[in-house]
Amino acid sequence: MSRKIVIGFDDSESARSALDFATNLAKSDGSELVIAHVLEWSPYSFLTPEELEERHKRRKEELNRAETALIGPIAEKLRADGVNVSTVLRYGHIAETLCAIVEEAGASQIVIGRTGHSSLSSRLFGSVAGSLAQASPVAVTIVP
Amino acid sequence: MKKTTQASVLAPLAMVAAASPALAQSIDERVNEIFASSTGWFVNLIFSPFPGTSFPWIVAWLVVAATVFTVYFGLIQFRAFPHSIALVRGDYSDPNDAGEVSHFQALATALSGTVGLGNIAGVAVAVGIGGPGATFWMILAGLMGMASKFTECTLGVKYRNEYEDGTVSGGPMYYLTKGFDERGIPAGRILAVLFSIFCILGALGGGNMFQANQAHAQITNVVGEYPGWITGLVFAGIVFAVIVGGLKSIARVTEKVVPFMGILYVVTALIIILMNADKIGWAFGQIFEGAFTGLGVAGGFVGALIQGFKRAAFSNEAGVGSAAIAHSAVRTKEPITEGFVSLLEPFIDTVVICTMTALVIIITGQLVSDPNTGMYLLNEGGTAIQTVDGNSGVALTSAAFSSAFGWFQYVLAIAVILFAFSTMISWSYYGLKAWTFLFGEGQTKEIIFKVIFCIFVVIGAAANLGPVIDFSDAAIFAMAVVNIIGLYFLMPIVKAELNSYLSRLKSGEIRKYT
């Protein structure tokens, strides 16, 4: 019976620790690792006319960059290491989107670093880890 | 081409920057003279009244078009209103499209281009001249204008250009060419070129000089008199940093603050209205009575009607075609959905915000009436209603709000500056799209336009260029002449889209995601 572990990954120091933690976990019991990267996005943010025009192009670039520079190489490395890995790349509210990914994948737990990027704003408005701990449908492991 | 453009661009800048007051005076006069003599015929043509009346034909042109679209699409602005709100909320947005331009974003950006001085200064002019009754006609024109917006924005999305790299360009110049070709109607290209020329002129004038000029006027109102070119240079510097330097953060801050200011404005107005709750019935009585009798205002009820229609058209730009440019970047498979969303724009702009301004002016008793007859007293020239402190335009709005909250004049000054700035950013984009349609895309060509745009900011703030502003208003309305001709020819296409969409919505083929 293979289980799935979702790891919320954003290339920060603590996300790397979380990835290591999740990798060990996956190796120990043969779980599948779902590396999820969420690009912060709100459909209610405000853009200038020029940004509207370029949005589709920028989105493609951002997805491409995240795939080739961030998630892709890591997934490759883990696969070579014998870990069963899949990747998800999404736009949205980070905590909400991670919850949605967990449900879609049918994962049994989620692992996340304590502080991702933008720690200043997270101090003001609550961190991803904090809101995930409250909203997640499955067990959350927060790695320092 | 390039050299002459640069030379003509640099000359006025040098003049403005180096001008001593006396020299600036003479430059102003000369510019006024040249402009007035060479463009007066155009302004007169656009704003000329029907023979024997004082009713400008261009106002009738816009209102007739709005009425035609309202009837042709079967009161679409009321039928589709709840669905429009559901679209903006994202109920029908595919979650896999997250990260693309949402309906909300397209609407918000288009709104920040139209919400501006028209809502604050324009309404005060309308009520000041046409009396409370002008409000009734303004609201009616706003409601009808929703159908015009619906038509043009649907076409804007349907006939936009999508390029290989994923960027999009849309607007009347594209639906005039592609839509006319598709229906086999000639002259689409000529209309598109005409539209683009008027759009560039309108962008430099109403979308730029007028804004800079009024922002400067409002600043001096609060901090005292100082030369306009200082405001102009500061504004031009910021606009330059945003549109040439790509300093998006400033624009983004404005885009965030503008809706906030809009909400603050409406909430303050509501508080003032509620503080005078006992007068609400009376105020609406004045609006309805004035709409049909005029209550003694200049020009009687026809005067109220003209003012109301004119200011609504100035404010929400329905039928002008500018909004079609802003709305066309949305991510949707159904062009008609953006039409639905865009019809909220005249509603928010005119029916909500403009009405708030009018109610506050009426309810705080800024207009002086004869206590015995209930008729309004006119000023000495008989051109407008007497106001408590003799104010008009933005100063009248300011006085009305300040009578309840003294600090509001400072908020209003900031609001005017921000509204002016965001309108400039929007129009710089509209003008640029028209420019690249005419001259082709390319970095140098785009920079030339952007630099010209910034120079006009300085000129607009520095000088009192009445004829230039008349001309630029005329250019914005000339856009409507060309655009609405196109809309008449292309409205069957919108109708086909509408019928197809509504039947699929009914059958459940189009469904909510949430």
> Strand, helix or coil at B479?
helix
Q: How many angstroms separate the CA atoms of B204 and B211, rounded?
A: 10
A58 pLDDT higher than 90: no
Contact call for A55 and B329, based on CB within 8 A? yes
Q: State yes or no: ipTM above 0.85.
A: no
Selected residue with higher pLDDT from B488 and A46: B488
CB B328 within 8 A of CB B157: yes
A49 contacts on B by Cβ (under 8 Å): 109, 113, 325-326, 329, 425-426, 429-430
A52–chain B nearest CA distance, Å: 6
Contact call for A52 and B109, based on CB within 8 A? yes
Q: How many angstroms separate the CA atoms of B422 and B256, rounded?
A: 10
**Can you give the pLDDT at residue B155?**
94
In the A/B pair of chains, how many CB contacts fall below 8 A? 85
Query: Which residues, numbered 75 to 94 in chain A, qualify as contacts with chain B under a Cβ-Cβ cut-off of 8 Å?
Result: 90-92
Four-CA torsion B282, B285, B289, B291, nearest 10 degrees: 110
Cα distances (Å, whole numbers) of residue B5 to A47, B397, B462, B480 = 31, 41, 22, 28
Query: Which residues, numbered 5 to 44 in chain A, qualify as contacts with chain B under a Cβ-Cβ cut-off of 8 Å?
Result: 39, 41, 43-44
DSSP symbols for B21-85: HHHHHHHHHHHHHHHHHHHHHHHHHHHPBPTTSS-BHHHHHHHHHHHHHHHHTTSHHHHTHHHHH
Among candidate residues B316, B321, B310, the one with its CA nearest the CA of residue B195: B321
**Can you give the pLDDT at residue B342?**
93
Cα distances (Å, whole numbers) of residue A140 to A8, A114, A116 = 11, 11, 15
Q: What pTM did the predictor assign?
A: 0.85
Q: How many angstroms separate the CA atoms of B270 and B394, rounded?
A: 19
CB A112 within 8 A of CB A132: yes
Tokens 């970047």, residue located: B329
**Can you give the pLDDT at residue B482?**
94
**Can you give the pLDDT at residue B150?**
94
A44 pLDDT higher than 60: yes
Q: How many angstroms separate the CA atoms of B326 and B107, rounded?
A: 8
B466-507 vs B188-204: helix crossing angle, rounded to 10: 120
Q: How many angstroms separate the CA atoms of A60 and A38, rounded?
A: 14
- Residues A76-117 have pLDDT tens digits of 888 888 888 888 888 888 888 888 888 888 888 888 887 755
Facing residue for B104 by CB, picked from A44, A49, A55: A44
The two most distant CA atoms of chain A are separated, in Å, by 51
At A56, phi and psi to the nearest 5? -60, -40
Among candidate residues B190, B184, B82, B132, the one with its CA nearest the CA of residue B400: B132
CB A43 within 8 A of CB B95: no
b/e code B347-382 from CB counts within 10 Å (16+ = b): bbbbbbbbbbbbbbbbbbebbebeeeeeebebeeee
B425 contacts on A by Cβ (under 8 Å): 48-49
Beta-carbon contacts of residue B364 (< 8 Å; ≥ 6 apart): B272, B276, B400, B401, B403, B404
Domains of chain A: 4-143 (3.40.50.620)
A41–chain B nearest CA distance, Å: 6
C-beta neighbour count of B445 within 10 angstroms:
18
At B18, phi and psi to the nearest 5? -90, -5
B280-293 vs B355-363: helix crossing angle, rounded to 10: 110
What is the mean pLDDT for each group of 10 consecutive residues in chain B (514 residues)? 43 47 59 72 85 82 93 93 91 82 87 82 85 90 93 93 85 93 89 94 86 82 80 88 77 75 89 91 88 71 82 86 88 89 92 92 84 73 74 82 86 85 88 92 90 89 69 84 94 93 88 76
B408-439 vs B248-275: helix crossing angle, rounded to 10: 140
**How high does pLDDT run on average in chain A?**
82
Residue B461 corresponds to which tokens in the numbers above? 């703030």
A58–chain B nearest CA distance, Å: 8
Give me the helices (H) in B244-297, please.
Answer: 248-275, 280-293
> Strand, helix or coil at A140?
strand
Facing residue for B331 by CB, picked from A41, A56, A90: A56
**Can you give the pLDDT at residue B509?**
84
**Can you give the pLDDT at residue B344?**
93
Contact call for A60 and B166, based on CB within 8 A? yes
